[in-house]
Chain A
Amino acid sequence: ILNVEQSPQSLHVQEGDSTNFTCSFPSSNFYALHWYRWETAKSPEALFVMTLNGDEKKKGRISATLNTKEGYSYLYIKGSQPEDSATYLCALNRDDKIIFGKGTRLHILP
């Protein structure tokens, strides 16, 4: 059974602080790793697609890194803002299927 694990499940962060969370996946047959931001009552919104070992991507205050050999990706948020409150999902894209983690629920405290 292929599992994509995300940790922590839930995180409370003070506004202005930086934070990071992890996505772990089996490294065989890897094709791409997707990160999504999912706000309550909305649809998942793509943040990054990462394909190469050592990839680093950045979008404003959010960045991500990828290590395909050891099977993990980190998502970083710098200077958290209230609008960052959401669930962050990662998904492993193999050639034959897409497997989602259960997400990290981020709460930003004022």
Chain B
Amino acid sequence: DSGVTQTPKHLITATGQRVTLRCSPRSGDLSVYWYQQSLDQGLQFLIQYYNGEERAKGNILERFSAQQFPDLHSELNLSSLELGDSALYFCASSHGPFGDTQYFGPGTRLTVL
């Protein structure tokens, strides 16, 4: 158990809908990262927050947004969902802003029908 929690574990929804994925980092970690893993692609970095501020941005679509709250938990919002958004979404946390060991949560499996 890495200490990073993600909810829900599974999510099934329809095209055009909006969902929110939640992540709680390990105690003491200030950075939260979001990753997407689709069948045909490897792990893709989406976005990183450090202590409430956006720190780095990867291949995140405009339909997706994230935030980190004062208690350091983070939410990833996915809207106008398409079939291709079906994937495993991981959250990871680390202590520092970059270059630290990252601890991955168990992931949220999103299925868009």
> Which residues on A are within 8 Å of B, measured CB to CB?
31-32, 34, 43-46, 49, 51, 89, 91, 93, 95-103
Contact = CB atoms under 8 A, between A and B. Distances in A.
B56 A97 contact: yes
Contacts of B100: 49
A43 B23 CA distance: 14
B104 A43 contact: yes
Nearest to A96: B56
A63 to B, nearest CB: 17
Interface in B25-73: 33, 42-45, 48, 56-58
Interface of B: 2, 33, 42-45, 48, 56-58, 90, 98-107
A71 to B, nearest CB: 17
A93 B98 contact: yes
Contacts, number: 51
A44 B43 contact: yes
B58 A32 contact: no
Contacts of B102: 34, 46
B42 A100 contact: yes
B98 A95 contact: yes
A97 B43 contact: no
Contacts of A46: 101-104
Nearest to B2: A43
A89 B92 CA distance: 15
B105 A43 contact: yes
Given A43-B107, A99-B45, A103-B42, 10 more contacts: A32-B98, A34-B101, A45-B2, A45-B104, A51-B99, A89-B42, A96-B57, A97-B45, A98-B45, A101-B42
